[in-house]
Amino acid sequence: MDTDPFAGTKAFLHDFFLADRAPERPGLILHEYRPAREGEVPTDPDPLRARVVAEEYSALHLRVRNGDDFVPMLNTNNGTSAMASAFGAGLQDVGGGHWAEALIRDLSEVDRLEKPPVTAGRVGEALKHTRVARELSSLPIRSLDTQSPLTVATQLLGVTPLFTAMYDQPRRVHALLDLITDFYLDVIAAQQAAAGDQWCPLYWPHLWAPPEVGCEVADDYLLTLSPAQWEEFSLPYLNRLAERFGGIFVHTCSLYREHLPSLRKVKKLRGVNCDLSMAAPIRQILDALPGVVFAPHVYMNKEITRPSQAAWLAEMLAAWRPGDRLCPNVLAVIYDSDLKGDRPTDWAACKRVWREAGWEL
């Protein structure tokens, strides 16, 4: 019988998220890769099967194992606009990614908007991808990118019209957010069923989590609303998702100190990810979120306040205290303001920082 080579890492991460007592060390994810050699990646005549085969190969072979807490997983991410596409929004191709084109021209259209089936748009494609991934591989299958209901509402209507309507037509804004959340409940349940026991509820960062963590949303507009507005127009919908799936992990581009009390009101908050380039001090975030996994990274263009990924990692580990559930995600590059571009991460320096902090790789 085959045994799972990552069973020990999964056991550690299960306790990292869910045990009453935090493990006695931080977590660590090193996003270190090596390029594929020509002819190294297997092929398949079916495009979707070929994509899954390539993803499995990348997860298992292109990743350099460092003794960190990385677990190979398969990606089903169909872009940040997948949910909007299911409602019928057009997509603009922007260098391999997609931006949603506004679907609702007047908020009164919300009264006639219907919940789409889970087979619609790029959501349906992601669910098909999930089924093929389960057929071809035994690796964990990551959630598709589920932007928060608030983010999807901005995609369907536009940011300025939606934010204005929070003051002028709050009833219709809530009706739109309720409808999007209803759709989310269907989508997450459908992907859970399609992935079966291979389900991983996270899509970013590349951190395996047990199904009990629930689901993940990316709520980047946390930064642009006042705490009171966010608590009115996003918090209730995150709480609906958390209650239905047993927990929630929240990504936001950054995290300011004034929003920490609001974030603590999220029910069954299992974890948080953000870019720490311009965020509140690490110790302030950890103290505000006891018992919650905090899995930050640092990259934000033009506002980098750390000279290297290794220096940032040293800062994170120096801030860690027993009882914290801190899991730094060290990225492959950091933005260099002098070069005005990315500078590769010095992996040897990062590993040296980890060992000097007292842990082995």
**pLDDT (tens digit, 0 to 9) for every residue of the chain, 361 residues total?**
468 889 999 999 999 999 999 999 999 999 887 777 777 888 889 999 999 998 898 888 766 667 799 999 999 988 899 999 999 988 887 776 778 888 898 889 999 999 999 999 999 999 999 999 999 999 999 999 999 999 999 999 999 999 999 999 999 999 999 999 999 999 999 999 999 999 999 999 999 999 999 999 999 999 999 999 999 999 999 999 999 999 999 999 999 999 999 999 999 999 999 999 888 999 999 999 999 999 999 986 666 667 899 999 999 999 999 999 999 999 999 888 777 788 899 999 999 999 999 998 7
- The dihedrals phi and psi of 210, each to the nearest 5 degrees, come to -70, 155
**pLDDT given for residue 1 in this prediction:** 47
Q: Are 107 and 172 in contact (CB under 8 A)?
A: yes
Candidates 211, 78, 240, 90; CA nearest to 150 is 240
Q: b/e map of 250-283 (b: 16 or more CB within 10 Å)?
A: bbbbbbeeebbebbeebebbbbbbbbbbbbbebe
Domain made up of 71-274: CATH architecture: Alpha-Beta Barrel (3.20)
Q: What's at 355, amino acid-wise?
A: R
**pLDDT given for residue 361 in this prediction:** 73
Global pTM?
Answer: 0.95
Q: What's at 128, amino acid-wise?
A: K
**pLDDT given for residue 347 in this prediction:** 93
**pLDDT given for residue 297 in this prediction:** 94
Token couple for 7? 């069973």
Candidates 212, 211, 214; CA nearest to 197 is 211
Distance CA 84, CA 80 (A): 9
